[in-house]
Amino acid sequence: QVQLVESGGGLVQAGGSLRLSCAASGRTFSSNAMGWFRQAPGKEREFVAAISWRGSDTVYADSVKGRFTISRDNAKNTVSLQMNSLKPEDTAVYYCAASASKMYGSSSRSHYDYWGQGTQVTVSS
């Protein structure tokens, strides 16, 4: 199994930045596509960003394109999400996800097999 632990969430003013990190353990990390999703209270969990196993291919939701950057460091078994120009609508619990069989990322939740517990991001106006 794969265990994922997110960190880096917090409270930030609109226009500010946060960097989320996800630490993976228990399984070969470099062979897995990774993704970030978020869920606001009463809302569906939505796709944010994904990255391929080698880190060369990335995909972003339209809502975060140009503001967020996903990256990974396979030597350290981590994936990160740099969030800039944050908006109040970015407020949500952010979840790290990993695929057990896919090398390339996807915006679909069904693409992923492992999920972290989430980290809260709150953006004040």
Enumerate the β-bridge partners of residue 72.
79
Structure tokens belonging to residue 124: 């004040």
Cβ-contact 46, 38 below 8 angstroms? yes
Phi and psi torsions of 122, nearest 5°: -125, 125
From first to last of the 125 residues of the chain, give the pLDDT tens digit.
Answer: 889 999 999 999 999 999 999 998 876 655 689 999 999 999 999 999 999 988 889 999 999 999 999 999 888 889 999 999 999 999 999 999 999 888 889 999 999 999 999 999 999 99
